[in-house]
Each structure stands twice: as C-alpha cells, then as structure tokens.
Homo-oligomer: A and B are copies of this chain.
Amino acid sequence: MAKITASVYTSHVPAIGAALDLGKSSDPYWQPLFKGYEPSKQWMKDNRPDVVFLVYNDHATAFSLELIPTFAIGCAAEFKPADEGWGPRPVPVVQGHPELASHIAHSVIQDEFDLTIVNKMDVDHGLTVPMSLMFGQPEAWPVKVIPFAVNVVQYPVPSGKRCFALGQAIRRAVESFDEDLNVQIWGTGGMSHQLQGARAGLINREWDNAWLDQMIADPQACSQVPHIDYVREAGSEGIELVMWLIARGAMADVAGGPKPTVKHRFYHVPASNTAVGHLILENN
C-alpha cells in the first residue's frame, strides 16, 4: 500500500533558483537563506520518498489566459523545465509517476473534485525551485514527481476550505494504491509577498508566523481563513499559501490519526520581494 509519510512546505521564489543556478548561494545576501535548508537536505537524504506529490502554481507559463484549470494533475512520464523568458533552468527533467498520478486522478474525481488531467506540460520555478531547495543540484532528481498545479493567478482561486478537503481526498487516493510506495506531499508558494502596484514589497512576519502556528496545530481552523485575509495581511501573492493546505489536509491527524512531528521550521526575510517560509511535518 502506498503511504504519505511526510509533508514539506516551502516558498518557491524564482530568485532562489537564479541564485543557485548562477552559483551565488554563498553570497552574503543568500547565505542565511540556504543555511535554513541545510537540515532539510539532510532530512531528505535520510527520508527519501519514492514519489513527491508536488502542489504548486503555474505563473503564466504552461497556462496562458486561453485556458485556466482550477486544479490540474500531471499524469505524464516526464515534465520539462519551462523557458520562463531567460531559457529553461539548468535542472534535470522531472520524471513523473503516470500510474499513481492517474490512480489519484481517478479516485479524486470520483470523490467530487473536478480535476483537469494533463499529459503534456512544462513546469516552471513553482515546481523546480522547491526541488532544488530539497535536493540540491544533482544530475538527475532522485524521486519521481506528480505535479499538481493550482490556479492562484486569476480570481476566483480555490478557497482554503476546498484545498484542505482536496488534501484529504488525495490521502484516501494514495492509500488505495496497491503498490508499496513512500509518498511525500509538498505544498509550495507564499509566504507574504506582493509583486504588484504601489503596495509591492509588503511583508507581514507576524501574520505569517501566526498562520503557520495555526496551520500546524489546528489546520481545520486555518482552512477557514477567507481569501481577503490573505490578500490584506500577506499581500496579493500571499494567496499562494492556500496550496499549503492541500498538503496539510493529506496528513494523518486530519483523518483521526496521531499528530505529526515538526521536523524543521524556518522563516527568512527577504528573498528578493518575498518572505520565505519552510516547514517539514512527519506523520507518526
């Protein structure tokens, strides 16, 4: 039986990818940030899963305004790093897990989530930056990945409540897959940031950390936070945080199991325009 063993949460700031790719990770500006991920890379070596179910959002890369899926699940055998305007990031091609991905799609659609199935898609920094942060710079990624893209660009975006319920459905789907697989689920994006208008640069350290506290301790309550609070308190792009609730909803305690253990927690300001948050929760 496949099993979700842990969830990982992290911002996916494009400038972090650029810093890594250009060899700037020990610059004074970036050094404190990458230091915060050192324990995570070690933890990942000790707890490497077979498959990562990676929740992220596309940033007008694979999806233009022609077609905007609320939830899209990648069922292909591989996904290429996208050219976001400066050429593709020099990172390995992402290997998918078509069997598990279509199993989850089948199960979750029957569970009344109206997914879009995608068999051809390039993946942008939303997916590749978390991979780099957790695995460093290998020749090939050491895990298979199921990309799961959430619309947080055009309103209305899915609510925290919907995302949290989806996470629960994903957990049921994974656990009904016959093959023995160690699966992690990652939620990415956030934390507070605003990239547009006169309010660009907004950072709300207090709100971010209070939100994190609640997401860890009482995710059900956290899932009730309305959209407007994210925008007002964490900036217009802070809304990406709803994606973390998908990963959180897939943890065992939400289905009546034991509370997860916090293996690592890290918060840093700034990475370019953004507050960076990071968390590792292990199921018990």
Give residues in A with beta carbon < 8 Å to B: 65-72, 105-106, 109-110, 112-120, 154-156, 158-159, 161-162
Contact = CB atoms under 8 A, between A and B. Distances in A.
A118 B67 contact: yes
Nearest to A166: B114
A100 to B, nearest CB: 16
Given A66-B118, A67-B120, 20 more contacts: A66-B119, A66-B120, A67-B67, A67-B119, A68-B118, A69-B69, A69-B114, A69-B116, A70-B109, A70-B114, A70-B115, A71-B114, A106-B155, A109-B158, A110-B156, A110-B159, A112-B159, A112-B162, A114-B115, A114-B158
Top 10 A-B pairs ranked by shortest CB distance? Answer: A114-B114, A70-B114, A66-B120, A69-B116, A68-B117, A109-B156, A71-B114, A110-B156, A112-B162, A106-B156
How many copies of the polypeptide does the oligomer hold? 2
29 contacts: A65-B119, A66-B119, A66-B120, A67-B67, A67-B69, A67-B72, A67-B116, A67-B118, A68-B116, A68-B117, A68-B118, A69-B69, A69-B114, A69-B116, A70-B109, A70-B114, A70-B115, A71-B114, A106-B155, A106-B156, A109-B156, A109-B158, A112-B158, A112-B159, A112-B161, A112-B162, A113-B114, A114-B162, A116-B116
A68 B116 CA distance: 5
Nearest to A118: B67
Contacts of A120: 66-67
Contacts of A106: 155-156
Contacts of A161: 112
Nearest to A117: B68
Contacts of A66: 118-120
Nearest to A107: B156
Nearest to A112: B162
A114 B151 CA distance: 10
Nearest to A62: B67
Nearest to A154: B117
Contacts of A110: 156, 159
Contact of A116 (B70, B109, B112): B70
